[in-house]
């Protein structure tokens, strides 16, 4: 049995591998052995009724997100996932289904379950179709939280494809973000991801919410007892705040880049709801994949990409920066650094996870 009162190796850390966090730097942290974290996530999900293979898939994905430095989509997510199953918001026994509609378009229906298996099925399918025909599209519907989008973009890029993912349509149930110029939360975070084969260091990956931060950072900061950076949220009167409670007391997340993030969010809403139809569960998604070998051989594309990216990496850094980074390489470097390291969680978050595991009487030996 797990003793929630005795978490292992509590300490505060300034480890550069953890510097990608948006939580305040004085947030106390606990290091959890990755195999223990995996057993907890798998145990909680199976206790809630998920098939064991799906539970393992979700646990792998969350731990990979933490190792990639994307804490907003990491192991802490097991807390809201458990709540979603308890409330009936997600179906524990759901398995995604691949089908065609009456117009011939390919769709993955998540059957109201967690979205990570559905997104994994979709990316494998769209890669296969792109390799066969050059260009492919697939939509996703009736899915819960889909995890870190960059993971799917990486998979497609490693397979030689350009992949574009656009999500949205959840505005009625997930009013999180204020439209640019407004102070009321009316939109979801409507994320995008792009993956494309890169240079010698791997794919170029773009993965961002159209909000100033993913909602997971705000919800996670509340659980962790941490403050947020400036420029992420406003309070109910439209004033800037760093306290996550200001968001939960009627505030809103801001758009990324002001009108630019807002415009991208509106475009995602048009694609995901107006085009794909009313949303069930969290969001609708569209994936587009292109076989890059239609234009360049993989070797030649890598050579050209590396020439471009090397010039960017060697740009003299501005004051306050150590170097210029390439999108996606930071996450790849973090995974390499963290491959054999424990998962680092805010101590307050770990305490809640340990308490959940204890409540469920999980056998973690």
Provide the CB-side half-sphere exposure for 245 (13 A, CA). 3
- CA torsion sign for 109, 111, 112, 117 is negative
Q: What is the pLDDT of residues 255-303, one digit of tens each?
A: 999 999 999 999 999 999 999 999 999 999 999 999 999 999 999 999 9
28-330+339-359 belongs to CATH 3.30.420.40: no
Give the pLDDT mean for 116-144: 98
Contact 11, 31 (CB under 8 A): yes
Count CB neighbours of 350 within 10 A: 27
Model pLDDT, residue 23? 76
Q: What is the pLDDT of residues 86-115, one digit of tens each?
A: 999 999 999 999 999 999 999 999 999 999
Per-residue pLDDT band at 19 (split at 50, 70, 90): very low
- The Cα 225–Cα 294 span in angstroms is 50
- Provide the percentage of residues in the chain whose pLDDT is more than 70: 94
Residue 13 has pLDDT above 50, yes or no: no
Q: What is the pLDDT of residues 39-58, one digit of tens each?
A: 999 999 999 999 999 999 99
Mean pLDDT over all residues of the chain? 92
Q: What is the pLDDT of residues 144-203, one digit of tens each?
A: 999 999 999 999 999 999 999 999 998 988 899 999 999 999 999 999 999 999 999 999
13-17, 22-26, 264-268: the lowest-pLDDT one: 13-17
Give the pLDDT mean for 227-238: 95
Residue 17 has pLDDT above 50, yes or no: no
Instruction: List the domain boundaries for the chain.
Output: 28-330+339-359
Bridge partners of 30, per DSSP, are 10, 345
Model pLDDT, residue 365? 64
């Amino acid at each position: 049995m797990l003793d929630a009162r005795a978490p292992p190796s509590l300490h505060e850390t300034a480890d550069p591998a953890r510097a990608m966090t948006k939580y305040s730097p004085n947030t106390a942290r606990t290091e959890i052995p990755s195999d223990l974290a995996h057993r907890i996530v798998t145990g909680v999900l199976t206790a809630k009724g998920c098939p064991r293979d799906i539970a393992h898939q979700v646990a792998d994905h969350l731990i990979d997100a933490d190792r990639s430095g994307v804490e907003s989509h990491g192991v802490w997510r097991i807390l809201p996932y458990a709540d979603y199953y308890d409330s009936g918001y997600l179906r524990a026994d759901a398995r995604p289904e691949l089908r065609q509609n009456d117009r011939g378009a390919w769709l993955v229906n998540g059957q109201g379950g967690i979205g990570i298996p559905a997104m994994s099925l979709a990316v494998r399918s769209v890669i296969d179709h792109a390799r066969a025909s050059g260009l492919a599209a697939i939509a996703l519907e009736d899915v819960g939280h889909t995890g870190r989008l960059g993971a799917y973009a990486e998979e497609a890029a490693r397979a030689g494809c350009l992949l574009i993912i656009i999500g949205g349509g959840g505005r009625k149930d997930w009013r999180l973000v204020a439209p640019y110029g407004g102070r009321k939360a009316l939109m979801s975070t409507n994320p995008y991801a792009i993956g494309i084969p890169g240079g010698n260091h791997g794919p170029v990956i773009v993965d961002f919410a159209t909000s100033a931060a993913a909602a997971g950072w705000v919800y996670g900061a509340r659980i962790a007892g941490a403050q947020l950076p400036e420029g992420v949220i406003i309070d109910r009167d439209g004033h800037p705040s760093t306290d996550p409670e200001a968001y939960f007391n009627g505030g809103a997340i801001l758009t990324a880049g002001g009108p630019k993030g807002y415009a991208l969010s509106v475009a995602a809403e048009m694609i995901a709801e107006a085009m794909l139809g009313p949303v069930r569960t969290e969001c609708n998604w569209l994936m587009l994949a292109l076989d890059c070998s239609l234009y360049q051989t993989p070797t030649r594309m890598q050579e050209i990409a590396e020439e471009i990216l090397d010039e960017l990496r060697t740009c003299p850094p501005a004051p306050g920066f150590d170097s210029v980074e390439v999108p996606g390489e930071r996450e790849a470097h973090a995974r390499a650094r963290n491959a054999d390291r424990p998962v680092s969680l805010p101590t307050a978050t770990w305490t809640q996870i340990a308490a959940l595991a204890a409540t469920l009487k999980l056998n973690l030996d």
